[in-house]
Structure 1
């Protein structure tokens, strides 16, 4: 369950010299015996909690808790309880405003389980974020069946640069087995909606779920080629207490006592795959783990996006970068400068692009001047610092 109030009570008991046993929301050991205290009620108002961003320079932000869905592998309900609760929009914007001056890159990752559960709330958030003019890029995680054209457009205009979608599999058989309640066609449609407005799409994929075979996994790989996300990353199924996977595995082949040994960290295993499929999945994962790039959009895609969002600085910068990659330096410079003129939230990144264009033209002095200006504008941006250091090293 939620630890906020539990942890505060544990600290108070410690300061008073009292035992922890019996504190609602705790589980612990009394010798060899495991002691579980009563559950602690959910936090009624998330706005009543202290804002982490007011104390720590973190680019990670949570604006809600809980997920109304119940995928077999997911422990969200165990962590947060059933249902969906959210911070107010003002609370979220205040948190962003508090942390932005501490970040080296003005980029925030919203890591709610399902950020767009309440579409109206997200649209209101996007409009309020634009009204505050915080100058920030952000990303979020969500489900494919919660995206609409209006939502994607509003998110992009408010600075959303990447959507991470919980896809898990491209096989309908596996999606049904894990109770995902989506289809491959829905995944493909939502991917195109996000791409339409220049939002980069990342798929979170899994291998080893219920019903996984070599055939279903190869179906997933073929689906990736069809849907063409910009990026994807696979993870192996992990079986956690409080999930349906855990409960069902315990009825058959799994011994829960492994979770209560001193050396245990995490249990990763295919749920019901054959030994042959397990060997196949293991060999594939060893060769293909980590974040993978699948799609890099070009000039044609970004020209179409700019037609839809003609005065949006992000669309100009993306198009300028595409022109640069394809060797059209004059057009690249024009759109990068337009992005800066329109108030792109990362002016140092615009200057970095201009420096690269100058280098492509052989104008080393202009490149160094632009890199130096970029470092002054965004003195903590690690990409700019790295480029300045490399450029200086070249000409020593």
Structure 2
């Protein structure tokens, strides 16, 4: 908006705001959505002095698009982001991750797009850049069972994706239709099988408490969860959100009032609040937990993953962690050591070797491997805390204190460094 030099623009001319005047509240015209998301600056470049913000926790979460191609009746995303899907470019995405990695030392990221894989070509290019530029991270993402295939999942795993989260919601076709999911249980089974074939962790979201839902629907969901062997999941009672189709439909039917969000101060406004919802939620939670205990990959699974995908650090990490859990430390060391030999600039191999050597009591070896982490990711605060703990165990108190101080400089929220320096 053009203004004369020194002139303050009138508030009423600024789109997308609301303000109070003597005559009441004025809302201006809607501001058009940002078409080019690559033009939005990276938050990490401007948050150094953010008061009360745990940067290392906050910057782990990345959003690379706005909008969702789906139209689920319970979801407020279309109202929040608009109905169009706007995407950041793969180059822009990798540049932000690299910036955060170099400045803040983060090597694990959670991509929080509603449907990260909505554009297959974009994700394939993103994965190519991560591998080609040796960014060496682990990451997870959210998607739809109708928006993945084997080629895409294999590429994602090779680029460090260790977990994918699907909105499964229900195993009942009738309930899926009532929720407007636009998917079927066969797609859930197929996509889940492909995720397990690629060797990624499978996480699911479930919903219960739809108005017409009965025990038979819960039974169908339990059967589906058992079939797909999800590693973990979340269960949520169906809730109202402003702007959703479910909310609008029930307002129109007179089931609830339009001002319910102003009048009701509960943390969540559930569609149903009865004994069935409590029972169904508990049954589903128990099923997810039980299935998760038996869904983990075994030695033969990892051999299959390696045969299908070839070497990728995510497989070695997951395999090594399995061996550690079983107390087979030499085999775990072999997995982590292969990462350091094939990819000396990959911090994950050194980091996990350091932790393993610490468990084994080989403290000097643990120190040397943690120091290698810091040669490739100098701002990795956890490695400084690990070194601080090791130095304390070896009686090298002054050195340990200095490492803890450095960890706290990099991350003022580091719990181990805070505790260690507090007791000094």
Q: TM-score, normalised by structure 2?
A: 0.76
Aligned to 1:260: 262
Aligned to 1:49: 40
CA positional deviation for 1:173: 1.8
* Residue 164 of structure 2 corresponds to residue 173 of structure 1: no
Aligned to 1:276: 275
Aligned to 1:340: 340
CA-based RMSD: 3.5
165-174 or 360-369, larger mean C-alpha shift: 360-369
Q: Deviations over 1:24-74 (max 9, x none)?
A: 323566689664432222222222322323323522222211112110111
**Partner Cα distance (2:7, 2:170) in 1:** 51
Counterpart mapping for 1:200-279 below 5 A: 200-251=201-252, 252-260=254-262, 264=265, 266-269=267-270, 271=271, 273=272, 275-279=274-278
3-state DSSP of counterpart to 2:259: helix
Unpaired segments ≥5 residues, structure 1 = 1-8
Change (3 A) 1:282 1:352: same
Counterpart mapping for 1:53-68 below 5 A: 53-56=44-47, 57=55, 58-68=59-69
Change (3 A) 1:373 1:40: closer
Q: Deviations over 1:190-247 (max 9, x none)?
A: 1221222222221122232343333323432332222111221123333111110110
* Residue 15 of structure 2 corresponds to residue 24 of structure 1: yes
Q: TM-score, normalised by structure 1?
A: 0.81
Q: Deviations over 1:321-364 (max 9, x none)?
A: 323333433332222200221227752x4345435554666656
Is residue 103–residue 379 contact of structure 2 (8 Å, CA) maintained in 1? no
Change (3 A) 1:173 1:30: farther
CA positional deviation for 1:146: 0.6
Is residue 160–residue 313 contact of structure 2 (8 Å, CA) maintained in 1? no
How many residues align? The count is 379
CA positional deviation for 1:143: 0.5
Aligned to 2:140: 139
Is residue 233–residue 288 contact of structure 2 (8 Å, CA) maintained in 1? no
279-288 or 89-98, larger mean C-alpha shift: 279-288
**Partner Cα distance (2:371, 2:133) in 1:** 29
Aligned to 1:106: 107
Aligned to 1:326: 326
**Partner Cα distance (1:193, 1:386) in 2:** 38
**Partner Cα distance (1:285, 1:48) in 2:** 43
Unpaired segments ≥5 residues, structure 2 = 48-54, 396-424
Is residue 144–residue 182 contact of structure 1 (8 Å, CA) maintained in 2? yes
Is residue 59–residue 103 contact of structure 1 (8 Å, CA) maintained in 2? no
CA positional deviation for 1:380: 5.8
